[in-house]
Copies of this chain bind each other. A is one copy, B any other.
């Protein structure tokens, strides 16, 4: 159905999105399609996420950070599979609150992250909605033929690792909602993590070379490891006591009265965008060295066992968690 007054859409494409286009493959966003040359020896790896204001981001989240987070959660998926990102397509459903300054902020966020992560816009669509602002992004990367890491390759005896820290996604959301009392710089660090998580793009090659199974931590560590367990048809023991926490999360944790429940909450909060993966024990030293070279924390949080299902361990005992992870709607 045609809409009459859409000067804003034309301007948005011309002035805000066109400067982001891939210099060659995006055809200046002026030709209905993007055209990618074949890259023999490589597979094309694709992922797509959709986000809605009020569900996946807060109505008062600045739109530059909304754009960055949308791109980053997709780059996180690619990194966890061992793929190197190069481009994306974007659909914007602008709500009434998305005036020109908001659209400029959105594009500025993309421009910054394009430079940071070496990706370009390849195409997309921009429309208006009477509902909440929504966005969908299809991200693309390359991986050498057959090298993309799945959820399904974990072997009994493999170790389980996680990059970075877990729990800042949950605490960052609480901080952004004004639900935490911590020192201002701690709150800011947590909100920054929530709004602009760091996808482990520079660890993708290590994942590709050493991980037997891998997943990014978006639903919550137990839930995401649960995906690996089911796809690989193995058991897995996750040790809550060694959950890697940021300084801010540690400060929050130190004030809790129930450490076990607090660790469960941090583990299962999701929105962490770290990589959880399994690897043979003989690679442990190499993995630690590669992580250190990238100034990236790497924590051994468990091991792959025979049997089936995820076992969460606290103080050496298997526990039942109240919930295994959020599911994003």
Contacts and interface: CB of A to CB of B under 8 A. Distances in A.
A40 B221 CA distance: 39
A215 interface: yes
Contacts of A227: 30
Contacts of A47: 32-34, 123
The interface size bin for chain A is: 35 or more
A123 B138 CA distance: 10
21 contacts: A2-B270, A3-B326, A4-B327, A10-B327, A31-B231, A32-B81, A33-B83, A33-B148, A35-B45, A37-B145, A38-B40, A38-B43, A46-B122, A46-B123, A48-B124, A49-B125, A55-B127, A95-B131, A127-B328, A129-B132, A131-B132
Given A6-B328, A43-B36, A136 B50 contact: yes
Contacts of A81: 31-33
Which of A4, A50, A143: most chain B CB closer than 10 A? Answer: A50
Interface in A271-329: 271, 326-329
Given A1-B57, A6-B327, A127-B328, A36 B31 contact: no
Copies in the complex: 2
A136 B30 contact: no
Contacts of A3: 55, 326-329
Interface of A: 1-6, 9-10, 27, 30-52, 54-58, 77-78, 80-81, 83, 89-93, 95, 122-132, 134, 136, 138, 143, 145, 148, 150-152, 173, 215-216, 227, 231, 269-271, 326-329
A95 to B, nearest CB: 8
Contact of A80 (B32, B45, B132, B215): B32
Contacts of A48: 89-91, 123-125, 138
Contact of A329 (B5, B90, B95): B5
Contacts of A231: 30-31
Nearest to A30: B231
Contacts of A131: 52, 95, 129-132, 134
